[in-house]
Each structure stands twice: as structure tokens, then as C-alpha cells.
Structure 1
């Protein structure tokens, strides 16, 4: 017998508190068209303040701390009627935290350490339900994915850094761009390496009482 159509759930706008083109592309590919509002968070200051208060932070905690700071900054500074998502990614290598390289020299030095080895890409996700009739949830979590890097030659490293791509991304690499040829294997969520874990986002939305297809399938009411 034919299935009875389910009533349409009310669509919930999603605000992405990130300037990352990769995160935006990931959401769009999943059927979500977010409103992008970029925060002006001083990341170094946020981490330094937290370290002064709590001591040394684990890499995954730094990612979540920065994701929360970006999400809260956007939610507080704007009159929004949806859910706000903040994200931040860092690469852990030898227990050290690496974000975007400061310059080409740092990117080259980092790749010389990374080649032939494995790092862990941590992406913090923070969600705030800023709807007038929402549950007011403010929740977050971090997804972590092991990334195995190829054994690049010095020439390959220098050529890759010369493209400028490693200077624009946490960890100095991409898996969905020019750097994809230098990632031999991952263990965990592929999207998390791009900068946004769709399964984790679904879980956070569910915890806030929001169904996936309320954000992933925009429809006319």
C-alpha cells in the first residue's frame, strides 16, 4: 500500500559562523543553504585567556573552545532567527596544536615533519538555538579523524606551498583540494577533515530538538 505522506516540519534556518569555503560547500552538498556570518574572534587571545584560567588545553579542547567563541560572537552580535553553527579545526602532531601556518616557511617546515606520518585533525562544533520559539540549546562536541600523510619530497613540499593553499587551512593541507594527493588514508569522518562533520552536526541538531531535514531540505511552507 502507498505510504502516507508525513506532514512537513517547519524549516529551520542555519547560520554558519565561518568564512571557510570548504565548510560552506560541504553544507550545500548536503542540501543546506546556510546564511554565512563571519565572526571577528581573536583566536590567540581566546586560547591564551583559557590557558591562564585552566592551564594547558588538549588539542580537541582548543578546537571546541574556538568553535564556541565564534558561534557565541555571531549569535550575540546579530538578530538571528535560526540556529548558529561555529566550527574550528586544528591538527595535532606529536601532541602539538597546529592551525594555519603563519607564512610559507612555517608551512614548509611543518610538511617536512608531517610527511610519511599520521596526525589527528580535530574539528570543534558549537551550536546555539537562537530561535524565538526554540529550546535555547547551546551545545557542542569535537570530532577527530586520523590523517595519514604521504612521503613527499622536498621539491613536492616546496611546490605545494608555492600554490598558497597550505597557508589558508588548518594543518597546512586539504583533502578535497590540491593536498588530496598527499593524504594516503584517513580513519574517521571524511567530512570532518574538510572542516565540518555532518554526522556530528546531525547529532547536535537532534539534541536541540531539530530534525535533520528541517535544515537539510529547505522547502516552501
Structure 2
């Protein structure tokens, strides 16, 4: 891959515990360091009650960025760093749904949303830090329509029993067991996995960073 450096000069920090987001970025040529934020999402959701849905997920991503930037700066690592944070929720039947946490809640949600269409909203925030100072920041929300299958009760219950939907926004995945139960999507598939590559590319450009400058050259296969 001509022109891709072995090690870019800018460090990328992913402010998320999601293994799927990390995998998406790695498959797309980045090698981010993971720093998980300690944001109280429930408290922030209470503060944002009544706000537009896209604003809520974007504010959650921004709050995570605040916490991650503070941690990175305090650790003395923020010489030339890009911080990426995201937060996803499903907008369906006029309500936002996050992680169900328990099988019973996951089953209840799936029974309510089967055979219908929801919109996965993913807020993104990108911050650039130079010598410990945030010099640029931008954020936005990506929306992707999800068409859920009309799954029978038995299938829903068995899906919930796998444990997969318990800690993911909207109680579904696209790249796991949940993929069998999604009839289609309209929009960016990477956003459904938790981080929109096209939107991140645009946000980076807004703060004068070319995403190709963050790519790491692949290791030659043996």
C-alpha cells in the first residue's frame, strides 16, 4: 500500500469499550489505543430528557470525549492525539432505546419492534489534542434505518438467551446472531456496528486531518 506509513505521527484514541468499534477501526487501517470513559450515562440522559434524539446521542458522545481527553491529558500522553468517541441508541416507535441489560427486557423490546423499522442513531465526537490542549473539535449524529424481521416468540427468546443483545444499543447486532433477524438496512452499515467510517472521515476533514494520514501499513503476510 504505497504511501501508508508504518507508524503515523498522530496517536488515535478510541474512547469506547466496544470490541466491535475497535475491530471496525482496525480493519479500516487504524491501530487505536482504548481509553474507556467514566461518564454516568443514565444521569446525563435524565438531564437531556426532552431533547431531540440526535442531540441526545451526540451529547453523550461529547461527554465521553470530555472524560477521555481529561484522562489522556492527565496521563501525559496527549502530544499529538485524535480522540474518537461514539454513543448509539435505537429510535423506534418514537422512543430511544439503549442497552437492555437483561434477557427479559431484550425479549420485551424485540416483541415490540419485530416487523417494524427503527433508526439506529450514533453520535460521534472527534477531538484533536496538541501538547495537552484541545485545538479542534467537531461532532455529529449518523442515522441508519433498520428493518427488523417479524421473528416469532421462540426465536426472540432464544436470541435473548445467547446474551448477545443484552449490552448493545437497541438489543441487536448486525454482525452476530442478530444478523439473522435483520431484513435489511438503509444507510451506512459501519454505523450499525457502532462507528460510521464515512462520518468519521468527514469529521476528521473538518479539523484538517486526512484519514489516510492515520492509516498504518499492513504487516506483510508470511
- Summarize the Cα distance change of 1:6–1:120 in structure 2 as closer, same or farther, 3 Å threshold: closer
Q: Is residue 15 of structure 1 aligned with residue 9 of structure 2?
A: no
Tell me which of 28, 37, 41 is aligned to 1:43.
41
1:126 pairs with 2:120: no
The residue number in structure 2 matching 1:73 is 67
Aligned to 1:64: 58
Change (3 A) 1:134 1:73: closer
Report Cα offsets for 1:81-132 as digits up to 9, x if no partner: 3011110000000110000003111110000011111000000000111122
Alignment correspondent of 2:28: 30
**Count of matched residue pairs:** 211
Partner SS for 1:136: strand
Secondary structure of 1:78 counterpart: helix
Deviation at residue 135 of structure 1 after TM alignment: 7.5
> In the alignment, is the contact (CA less than 8 A) between 1:65 and 1:124 conserved in 2?
yes
In structure 2, C-alpha distance between the alignment counterparts of 1:73 and 1:133, rounded to whole Å? 14
Gaps of at least 5 residues in structure 1 are none
Q: How do 1:80-159 and structure 2 match up within 5 A? A: 80-81=78-79, 82-132=81-131, 136-159=135-158
TM-score (structure 2 length as normaliser): 0.89
CA distance in 2 between partners of 1:90 and 1:17 (Å): 17
Change (3 A) 1:122 1:7: closer
Where in structure 2 are there 5+ consecutive unaligned residues? none
Q: Distance in 2 between matches of 1:6 and 1:67?
A: 32
Q: CA RMSD in A?
A: 2.0
Deviation, 1:133, is: 9.2
Q: Please tell me whether the aligned partners of residues 4 and 215 of structure 2 are also in contact (alpha carbons under 8 angstroms).
A: no
Residues in 1 aligned to 2:4 and 2:125: alpha-carbon distance in whole angstroms: 29
SS of the equivalent of 2:166 reads helix
C-alpha deviation, 1:134, in angstroms: 8.3
Instruction: Please identify runs of 4+ aligned residues in structure 1 that moved more than 6 A.
Output: 5-9
Displacement of 1:78 in angstroms is: 2.0
